[in-house]
Amino acid sequence: MEQRFIKKENNPRLLLFFAGWGSDEHLFSRPVEDGYDYLLCFDYRTLDFDYSLLDGYREIRLLAWSMGVWVAGQILTGKDYPWQMRLAVGGTPFPIDDRKGIPEAIFRATLENFSDAALVRFRRRICGTAEQVKEFLSHAPYRPVPELHEELQALEQYVRRPSAPFVWDKAIVGTGDKIFPPANQREAWRGTAVIEKDVAHYGGALFDRLLSGEEAVWTRH
């Protein structure tokens, strides 16, 4: 796993973001709230994690997106950190699941038919609109297709493990999500506070607000 500080100013608070499959720092190098350092996690070909990077922070704001929701749960279960808020976006603790995640047949088809063209189609699906595709491409990850295929293969093996019992404070469900069906997300998040937004799986404007602290969901009320 890559762990990269996008902002490191020795602030007392940390924004810890587990991005989705296929991400890198180009997609999520965006402004964050004053008073926070910003550590981005991506590339889940391995789940090796350097916990020492979280030492010394008085508060940690956890954000996870898509496959990063499952990864964060695996990495952080049983760890006693000073969580300010734990927020999941567009993902579930059951990433390959016909009722609570990506339907099995769809995931398998994506994995088995992966190619440059398939990646282009996937990115269109996560964005939803031509305008959002344009925004995504202005931040597009710089990772080669074979590496992304390796990451997808690794995740397919990892998520066969039982889901870790990690507790999330809130989940955002995009009603236009074509990757994790909204109905499956609602089922997965029974018992957790859910906020529905009219966004696709990837929403650049939403991530701008979440990372900068402007999004109201960061309050516990």
pLDDT band at 159 (very low <50, low <70, confident <90, very high): confident
Q: Name 36's Cβ contacts closer than 8 Å, sequence gap at least 6.
A: 7, 11, 13, 14, 15, 61, 213
pLDDT average, residue stretch 153-177: 90
Check: pTM over 0.85? Answer yes or no.
yes
For the segment(s) 2-218, the CATH number from 3.40.190.10, 3.40.50.11540, 3.40.50.620, 3.40.50.1820 is 3.40.50.1820
CA distance 218 to 170: 9
H-assigned helices in the chain? 25-28, 67-76, 104-112, 116-127, 130-137, 145-158, 182-188, 204-212
- Amino acid of residue 122: F
CA distance 87 to 206: 13
Give the CA distances from residue 162 to residues 2, 87, 100, in Å, rounded to whole numbers and listed in that order: 23, 21, 14
pLDDT average, residue stretch 184-190: 97
pLDDT of residue 82: 96
pLDDT band at 220 (very low <50, low <70, confident <90, very high): low
pLDDT of residue 160: 80
CA distance 212 to 172: 16
pLDDT of residue 30: 93
- pLDDT, tens digit (0-9, with 9 covering 90-100), for 72-91: 999 999 898 999 999 999 99
Structure tokens, 85? 């808020």
- pLDDT, tens digit (0-9, with 9 covering 90-100), for 27-54: 999 999 999 999 999 999 999 999 999 9
